[in-house]
């Protein structure tokens, strides 16, 4: 009599299988995309305190710094989300390439928009913009004198983030670079937000046009909000 083998061979964990499936990868891109859109929205509201005056923006920045170790947890979380968003986009791209070894002569340009076709390129430009932005305002390596800008808030010495932002955007090429970076971010979001709704199954034939319109309008509203900051500095509205 033949007895059954004592060890059973286990296959890959179902979660891993799901992550490696097309829908799993798309879901990760969509969920990390939502987290990044939420960050970009929250960051804009934080930056709007600039229009209320120096004490408001400096106090907002001070509160963020006051989070201490929690701020580092948020920063690392954000970095992880950006990393996963890029990694799973690359995996999806590789999968698509493998499924379509031959280039079609004329297919995509008719079916899709310029925003959809330039997602990877606009994404890479946004990444370069964020690296520059962190070097500019967080690490202060673009202009090291930004580190030495101090003021007082309720009698306490604090980093003068307000003056740093005003000085930063008084430089015309830097402001133009920001406006260009924000424009590319908007191209990325105007297609990206709509497609993440589709991935998560929220869009159907009848709701698709409305959802596309609303998500595009939202992306352009973010653009107007963000560029209002360098433009207000350049035009002297914020001094």
Residues that bind ligand HEM (CB under 6 A): 40, 43, 47, 61, 64, 75, 130, 133-134, 137-138, 161, 165, 178, 182, 185, 226, 229-230
Task: Pick between residue 130 and residue 237 the one whose CB is nearest to ligand HEM.
Answer: 130
Task: Pick between residue 161 and residue 196 the one whose CB is nearest to ligand HEM.
Answer: 161
**Which residue do the tokens 């963000």 mark?**
226
Task: Pick between residue 203 and residue 215 the one whose CB is nearest to ligand HEM.
Answer: 215
- Least spacing, CB of residue 137 vs ligand HEM, in Å: 4
Rounded CA separation 214/220 (Å)? 10
Rounded CA separation 116/109 (Å)? 10
Q: Which residue is at the shortest CB distance from ligand HEM?
A: 61
- Least spacing, CB of residue 227 vs ligand HEM, in Å: 7
DSSP secondary structure code for residue 28 in this structure:
H
Task: Pick between residue 177 and residue 211 the one whose CB is nearest to ligand HEM.
Answer: 177
- Least spacing, CB of residue 100 vs ligand HEM, in Å: 31
Which residue(s) pair with 129 in the sheet?
none
Alpha-carbon separation of residue 202 from 26, 81, 208, 210 (angstroms): 14, 22, 9, 12
Task: State the chain's maximal CA–CA distance in angstroms.
Answer: 92
């Amino acid at each position: 009599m033949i007895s059954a083998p004592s060890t059973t061979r286990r296959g890959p964990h179902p979660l891993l299988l799901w992550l490696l499936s097309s829908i799993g990868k798309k879901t990760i891109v969509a969920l990390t995309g939502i987290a990044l859109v939420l960050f970009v929205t929250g960051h804009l509201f934080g930056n709007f305190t600039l229009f209320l005056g120096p004490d408001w923006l400096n106090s907002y920045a001070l509160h963020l710094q006051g989070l201490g170790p929690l701020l580092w947890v948020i920063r690392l979380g954000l970095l992880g989300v950006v990393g996963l968003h890029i990694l799973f986009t690359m995996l999806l791209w590789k999968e698509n390439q493998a499924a379509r070894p031959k280039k079609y002569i004329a297919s995509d340009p008719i079916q899709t928009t310029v925003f959809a076709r330039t997602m990877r390129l606009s994404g890479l430009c946004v990444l370069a913009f964020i690296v520059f932005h962190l070097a500019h305002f967080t690490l202060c390596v673009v202009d090291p004198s930004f580190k030495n800008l101090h003021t007082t808030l309720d009698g306490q010495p604090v980093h003068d983030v307000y003056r740093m932002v005003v000085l930063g955007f008084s430089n015309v090429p830097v402001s133009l670079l920001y406006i260009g970076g924000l424009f590319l971010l908007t191209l990325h979001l105007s297609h990206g937000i709509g497609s993440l709704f589709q991935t998560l199954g929220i869009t159907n034939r009848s709701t698709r046009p409305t959802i596309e319109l609303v998500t595009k309008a939202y992306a352009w509203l973010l653009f107007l909000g963000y560029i209002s900051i360098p433009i207000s500095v350049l035009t002297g509205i914020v001094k």
